[in-house]
Homo-oligomer: A and B are copies of this chain.
Amino acid sequence: GRIGFDEAILCEQKTVPQIAEIASRSRDTVGRRLFTRLSAEKFAALPPDLCGAMIYDAQSRTAVLGATAPGAGPPRVAIVSAGSSDANVVAEAQATLAYFGQSTQKIEDVGVAGIWRLLERVDEIASMPVVIAVAGMDAALPTVLAGLVPSFVIGVPTSTGYGAARGGETALSAMLASCGPGLTVVNIDNGYGAACAAMRFLRMADRVRQAEVPLFS
């Protein structure tokens, strides 16, 4: 495609026949495809031959049609999360990157209410060029990270929490209003989008000849 990677199929508002038709067409043409936000019920309701050609993962709610092979090299993307309630969003980001051939480094449950757990892992995180920071509720994790590491940080607000968490709206706003300079943000629970951004980063990185251009400060 024009943008260097093919689009996934967002299944949430699609019917089973619609999904089946897309899967069938993909199998016969490009040969592989990623399906996101696919419930176990819908997956099970697909025609058996399509089910058989896909690998379903319940936690990330993704299905992969065709071959996937995580890259052989060391991971260049860290996925860091605040709590174990954020696990399915972490999984969606990881599954998407795996589909594109990228291995990832997961560092979970290091939210800032227990900041020492995060501090113990900072060097590990700082060694990664790209960091996907997943957090709900007050979502302070990406802000703190953006102040601690030079990596490119992509914040993913999650819909965990209740009341004033407002289904992820507070986490989203907090990341956007953050005083952590250069923090970028994607939609609530959008692990897929964060992974796509990471892919853009990796593909564009070799176009940059950083060393040639001096940076102030």
Q: Which residues of A contact B (CB under 8 A)?
A: 1-8, 10, 12-14, 18, 22, 30, 32, 37, 67-69, 71-73, 76, 82-85, 87, 99-102, 111-116, 129-130, 137-140, 143-144, 146-154, 157, 159-166, 168-190, 192-193, 195-217
8 Å CB contact of A203 from B18, B73, B150, B180: B150
Nearest 4 interchain pairs by C-beta: A182-B196, A163-B188, A140-B140, A184-B184
Report the minimum CB–CB distance from A29 to chain B (whole Å). 13
What is the total number of copies of this protein in its complex? 8
**In the assembled complex, which residues on chain B have CB atoms less than 8 Å from the CB atom of A193?**
181-183
Also in contact, A148 and B115, with CB within 8 A (given A170-B173, A216-B69): yes
Q: Does B216 contact A99, Cβ atoms closer than 8 Å?
A: yes
CB–CB A3/B71 < 8 A: no
Residue among B71, B113, B154, B187 making CB contact with A176, cutoff 8 Å: B187
Minimum Cβ distance to chain B for residue A33 (Å):
9
Residues of B within 8 A of A217 (CB): 1, 4-6, 30, 32, 100
Given contacts A85-B14, A164-B176, contact A181 B113 (CB under 8 A): yes
Which residues of chain B are within 8 angstroms of A199 by Cβ–Cβ distance?
Answer: 182, 215
A128 to B123, CA, bound (A): 31
Given contacts A100-B217, A205-B204, contact A73 B212 (CB under 8 A): yes
Tell me whether B13 and A160 are in contact (CB under 8 A): yes
Contacting residues, chain B, for A83 (C-beta < 8 A): 179
